[in-house]
Amino acid sequence: MLLTREIVQRDLDALPEHYKTGDVDGLIRRYVKEKADPAPLRPYILSEQQFHRIYFYAALKQIKSAEKRMAFIHENLLFSDWWHTDQLISFVAALPFETALSYAREYIRSEDPFIRRWGYVLFISRLGHGHAGELLPLMRNDGHYYVQMGESWLIAELAIFEPEAVYDWFSRNDLKYNINGKAIQKICDSFRISQTWKEKYKALRPALRLRT
């Protein structure tokens, strides 16, 4: 079955008036069970946001390998906000790290800020664990707020598993404080980083401010 715009809109209209994400996920489960092809939705997902999650999830949940899922995402870099990048993280968590890194190096140089953000947040899972040495050099002085937040989120995630490596990197990176400061704030907000390390990171703030 092809998931045309008309079919999906009819199914959405049949949901409760103030439907939630869980209601849409129920539709997606049905589409996956029926092996429905969401390809006809592609032309509409940027202009009609209600189709975005359905297009990606109905396709990706039918693709078994992480490599093929990533290839699908790469062919469909149709993002319009931070939510639509972040919701895809789980689909690529099982990728070989080097494969993901090769994609990320391309994405962080995109003209589209949400593709750049995707180049960072795709590692916020087990995919990025233990790879601070390869990922921290990807950080750049990006002027877009949501890209900065994606970088900061990844830095804080890496600090959970490699706090010393991230601490040493802070002392020598050339990023502006609007990224370093956001990263330290996210570290301080984390429940998975010890108070001892949080205090060490906070103590870096005065020196980091002087660099800007």
Tell me what pLDDT residue 36 has.
98
The pLDDT score that the predictor gives to residue 7 is 98
Chain position carrying tokens 């994400």: 21
If you average pLDDT over every residue of the chain, what do you get?
A: 97
- Rounded mean pLDDT, 162-189: 96
120-151 pLDDT per residue, tens: 999 999 999 999 999 999 999 999 999 999 99
For the chain, what are the domain ranges? 91-210
3-class SS letters over 115-153: HHHHHHHCCCCHHHCCCHHHHHHHCCCCCCHHHHHHHHH
Q: What is the pLDDT of residues 21-58, one digit of tens each?
A: 999 999 999 999 999 999 999 999 999 999 999 999 99
CATH number of 91-210: 1.25.10.90
212 pLDDT higher than 70: no
Q: How many CB atoms lie within 10 A of CB 143?
A: 10
pLDDT at 211: 77
Query: Quick check: helix, strand or coil at residue 205?
Result: helix
- Per-residue pLDDT, 55: 98
Structure confidence at residue 206 (pLDDT): 94
pLDDT tens track for 74-111: 999 999 999 999 999 999 999 999 999 999 999 999 99
Q: What pLDDT shows up at residue 201?
A: 97
pLDDT at position 149 = 97
**Of all residues in the chain, what percent carry a pLDDT higher than 70?**
100
Q: How far is CA 207 from the centre of its chain?
A: 30
Segment 146-172 shows an average pLDDT of 97
Q: Which of 26, 25, 22, 27 is nearest to 11 (CA)?
A: 27
The pTM for the full model equals: 0.95
Rounded to 10°, the helix 145-161/163-170 angle is 130
Can you state the angle between helices 97-107 and 113-121, rounded to 10 degrees? 160
Instruction: Please give the Cα distance from 128 to 120 (Å, whole number).
Output: 10
* pLDDT value for 169: 97
